[in-house]
Structure 1
Amino acid sequence: MGPIVPAYFHPAPHPGEWRRLADAGPAVRAVVLNVADGPGARPDPALRLAAERLRVPVLGYVDTAYGQRGAHAVARDVARHLAWYRVGGVFFDQVPAGCEWLAVYRRLAAEARRQGCGTVMFHHGVYPDPRFADLADMLGVFEGPARRYLTLAPPAWARRHAAATFCHLVYETPARLFTTVLAHAATAHAGSVYLTDRGGANPWDGLPPYFPRPC
């Protein structure tokens, strides 16, 4: 199963990156569309055209600010992604991991599905309360550098779910470590793993040179 690619870069300054995404086709499981920590304030024709050229599912990025954004604002972002970019699902980012947030995110997921999202993904960046797996189609349970990823051990509850439920985002992965990190992913019960050699404040601002080598 291919990676879920966080495409946090615009096609205008990065047309070659988007061509590579389009050419990758089924080697990619999905692409996360992120205009400005969400769909932006108005439709972006260049981004819509780039998204339409992809031959894989597209998920619209929606920041939930660890539960601090109001449900109306979150629902508005979902609606804009669906209307402006015709996404097939939603990537809820900054999702808290604790059980006290289950009811809030149950409602957000239900609203996204009501609006027409076929796929709902929660990105926690860590393993959350196990019951989150009952609310979303996919969970992002790791985001960090390769050196830390190589120590990751999934909790026992995760293995009671299909590996396809879990997605990992791994940065600072040089080409020389690619095979080692990928081998670890096979033991870490991950259905989708995206690797990049980039780092810094936004390691998702472009594609790594080894993309679309299977992840």
Structure 2
Amino acid sequence: MPYLTATATDTRHTHAGPGVGVPGYAHPLLASDQWNALARPGAPVHWAVLNVHDGPGICPDPRCLEAVGQLRNAGVRVLGRLDAAYGRRPFDALMSDARRYLDWYRVDGFLLRRCPTHHEALPGVRRTSAGLRDLHAGCHLVLGHGTHPHPGYAALADQLVTFSGPWSDYRWSQVAEWTADHPPERFCHFVHGLPRGHLDEALRITRWHGAATFYFTDRTDRGGTVDPWETMPGYWDEIVSRLGTGVSE
């Protein structure tokens, strides 16, 4: 059976300052060049999400093992993607997926996508957060709300995704007042459909809104029929040149 020889403590560093959080590229078999680009020296990557098959899959995947090992050897955190289904996913199912991610890929934490936002769901997410940290003491936990949640969620995770959507909404978006009580390192923004010519404007908005981790792409969701995050943006090298020290090819 495939396995990783690296351990969680082998992740030596992450990019300091503003940087990219990758919501999850397509399978490494289909997007090998894109996964390789994340491990290049100087790439401003805070973390990248691994989604094997709507979760960890049913057995270790050799291609994913290779991609994860490459990223972690480059000092990039790898997070497993868990689906909270807006609070409807059973606790035991989430923990089962998390254990497989840890056993097979030795991930550094998790992105809890479709995380609920309302106050009534706080106890359930608090239980999930505590359970994930019990499984992995060094867990880096990101709650994927996609919008500003109740402020109580800030105490449950390392980072919150407080925007996920199209550029047409992001450029006019407002930030919740309570976020000013927390440093930018606590917040992430995911923006799709961003034209190349508006990249600098988007970076300014992210800074003004107090988010240190972001993902911008010119890909779109085509009316909700495709996942815009699965493919690297056409201006990836421009993002690297603005934030990192990598060399464009």
Is TM (by shorter chain) over 0.5? Answer: yes
Change (3 A) 1:70 1:194: same
Aligned residue in 2 for 1:44 = 61
The letter for the 2-side match of 1:177 is H
Matched, 1:203 2:220: no
CA–CA separation in structure 2 for the residues paired with 1:112 and 1:13? 30
The letter for the 2-side match of 1:59 is L
Matched, 1:82 2:99: no
- Can you list the C-alpha shifts for 1:137-162, whole angstroms capped at 9, x where unaligned? 10011111111101111111001011
Contact 1:152 1:188 in 2 (8 A): no
CA–CA separation in structure 2 for the residues paired with 1:179 and 1:10? 30
1:24 CA displacement: 5.3
CA–CA separation in structure 1 for the residues paired with 2:91 and 2:213? 28
CA–CA separation in structure 2 for the residues paired with 1:37 and 1:142? 22
Matched, 1:14 2:31: yes
The letter for the 2-side match of 1:52 is G
Map of 1:27-38 to 2, 5 A cutoff?
A: 27-38=44-55
Matched, 1:103 2:123: yes
Aligned length: 215
CA–CA separation in structure 2 for the residues paired with 1:43 and 1:179? 40
The letter for the 2-side match of 1:203 is P
1:7 CA displacement: 2.2
Aligned residue in 2 for 1:57 = 77
- Can you list the C-alpha shifts for 1:116-175, whole angstroms capped at 9, x where unaligned? 152111100000000000011100111111111011111110010111111000000111
Superposition CA RMSD, Å: 1.3
TM-score, normalization by structure 1: 0.96
Map of 1:1-215 to 2, 5 A cutoff?
A: 1-23=18-40, 25-54=42-71, 55=74, 56-116=76-136, 117-200=138-221, 201-212=226-237, 213-214=239-240
SS of the aligned residue for 2:67 comes to helix
User: Is there any run of 5+ residues in structure 2 with no aligned partner, and where?
Assistant: 1-17, 244-249
User: Is there any run of 5+ residues in structure 1 with no aligned partner, and where?
Assistant: none
CA–CA separation in structure 1 for the residues paired with 2:178 and 2:230? 33
CA–CA separation in structure 1 for the residues paired with 2:166 and 2:124? 30
The letter for the 1-side match of 2:131 is E
Query: Between the two proteins, what is the percent identity of the paired residues?
Result: 37
